[in-house]
Homo-oligomer: A and B are copies of this chain.
C-alpha cells in the first residue's frame, strides 16, 4: 500500500481528523495539520505504522511543529493572492505551509502562533481593501521632526482617502525619551511626550512594535546624530525601512556606504534620503533616474547651502558689513548655533559627496577640495570668542568683494565635474564671483539652485531652484520619501 493511503488509514484508525494536507510534486514529504492535542498521538501512530520504513529509509522522519495557527482565506482568488502574501513577507512573517483548493477559491496558510495577530492585521488591509497601515517611529522632534509630525497628522485623512494608506506614528523619540502610542499619536503629542514620555533603548522600540503586531514599519531619522546612524542596520534587521534627513550615513566611508546598500538589498528594505541635498527640491531622485537611464551626467554645480546662500546674496546686494549679515542670519535661525559649521564648507562638501556617490563615483570625504571660509586663527575655540573677532572676516570678504569684476556677485558653490564615467570625480567647494545675470547670480534669499549638465541637455543645464533649507520644505520632502516607500510594492 502506498505511503499516502497508509498515512490516512492510520490516522483514521486513531480517530484523528486532518484539516490541511500538503504534498509537493517531488514527494519530498507531506504536511498535515491536526488538532494540537492530537499531535503527539498522531506522531506515535505514524511512527508505529512506518517503523519498518525507517529501517529501509523509505521514510526519513516524522516531526511535529507545535504552536502553529491556521489562517484560511475564503474567496481568495490566486490572481490577487500576491497582495496579502507580499504584505506578510514585507513584515517578516514567513508561512510554514500554504496551499489552495482548486475549486472554491480557498487559500490556507499555517503560521507560527506568535505571528498570527500580525499576519491577520497585514492581510486584512490587502484583502478587504482596508487601508494599508504604515507605522512610523520618528527620531528627532525638533524643527524638522516636529513639523513633519504636524504635516502627517494634518494630511493623514486625505492620504487614506486618496491612496488607501493609513499613516500612523507609533513612536516619537529624541535621545532621551520616547512616546509610544500603538494607535498613532494625536495632535497633542507635544504635551503627551512631557506627560507620558519614558526613557528607552532601541530594543524597547523593537519590542513595542513586535508586541503590538505593528506592520509596515518605517524608521525616520530627523536627528543629526552619528550614534543613531550606527543603529541603521539594527532597524533593517528588525524589519524597518529607513527614511532620513540625516546626512551622515551617506558621507561615511565608501565601504560602509556600499555595505549598507548590500544589507538593505539582502533584507529587501529601502532607504530614502531625498532631503539630504536641497531639502524638498526633487534632486536626488532626478539624478538617480537620469543616471540609471544612461544619461551621461557631465557636471553638477550649484548653491547648496541655504544659510550661505542668504549670507552671500545679502552681502553681494547690500552695503552691510559681513559680520552684521552673519549675525542677522544667526538670529533668524538660518545658521547652525556655531556658524563656523556652515562657513567651514563641510556641509556643502557632504552634499556634493552624496550626489557624486549617486553617480556611482567612489569618492571619499577627504577627496573634496573645500575652501574653508574661516581664517585658520579663528577655527578653534568657543563660539563666543569667535564672535568677538568678526572684524577679520569683514576685512577678508570686503577685499574679495571689491576685487570682483563689474556686475559680479559672490556665490559659495559646490562643483562636481571631471570624467564622471570614471571611478572618481573632481569635487570642489569654493567661493566664486559670477555675473549678476547668470543663473547662479540670480539666486535670491536663502534659495538653493542646482544645475545638472548632461549630454542630452548640452550647454543648457537642467536647473532646479527653490528653498533648499527650512523646516517646512524639508519635512515635506521627508514625508514624500515615506509615501514613496508606503506606495512601492502595494500593487504591482
Contact = CB atoms under 8 A, between A and B. Distances in A.
A108 interface: yes
B90 A492 contact: yes
Given A101-B30, A456-B280, A24 B466 contact: no
Interface residues of A, number: 107
A256 to B, nearest CB: 20
Contacts of A21: 4, 21-23, 30
Nearest to A436: B437
B2 A17 contact: yes
A480 B293 contact: yes
Interface string A301-345: 000000000000000000000000000000000000000000000
Given A21-B4, A22-B21, A24-B72, A281 B99 contact: no
A168 interface: no
Interface in A447-469: 447, 455-458, 460-467
A23 B489 contact: no
A63 B265 CA distance: 44
Given A4-B21, A462-B280, A294 B159 contact: yes
A483 B293 contact: yes
In this complex, which of A18, A289, A461, A488 has the most chain B Cβ atoms within 10 angstroms of its Cβ? A289
Given A25-B20, A102-B31, A463 B463 contact: yes
Given A72-B24, A289-B484, A295 B100 contact: no
Contact of A492 (B70, B86, B442, B470): B86
B72 A268 contact: no
A237 interface: no
Contact of A23 (B99, B151, B455, B480): B99
A351 interface: no
Contact of A460 (B26, B63, B467): B467
A63 B294 contact: no
Nearest to A79: B94
A131 interface: no
Contact of A28 (B101, B163, B268, B463): B101
A488 B442 CA distance: 38
List the number of copies, as a whole number. Answer: 2
Contact of A101 (B22, B95, B106, B445): B22
A282 interface: yes
B104 A24 contact: yes
Interface in A257-294: 265, 268, 280-282, 285-286, 289-290, 292-294
Nearest to A1: B12
A247 interface: no
Interface of A: 1-2, 4-5, 7-9, 11-12, 17-31, 33, 63, 65, 70, 72, 74, 77-82, 85-86, 89-90, 94-104, 106-108, 151, 154-155, 158-159, 162-163, 265, 268, 280-282, 285-286, 289-290, 292-295, 360, 437, 439, 442, 444-445, 447, 455-458, 460-467, 470, 472-473, 475-476, 479-480, 482-484, 488-489, 491-492
Given A4-B12, A31-B101, A282-B285, 7 more contacts: A25-B70, A29-B101, A82-B82, A158-B294, A268-B491, A457-B472, A464-B465
Which 10 A-B pairs have CB atoms at the shortest separation, nearest pair first? A155-B294, A489-B492, A99-B99, A462-B466, A5-B8, A21-B23, A456-B472, A28-B104, A31-B102, A24-B101
15 contacts: A2-B17, A5-B5, A5-B11, A21-B23, A29-B104, A86-B86, A89-B492, A90-B492, A97-B100, A97-B102, A155-B294, A289-B483, A293-B480, A444-B460, A456-B470
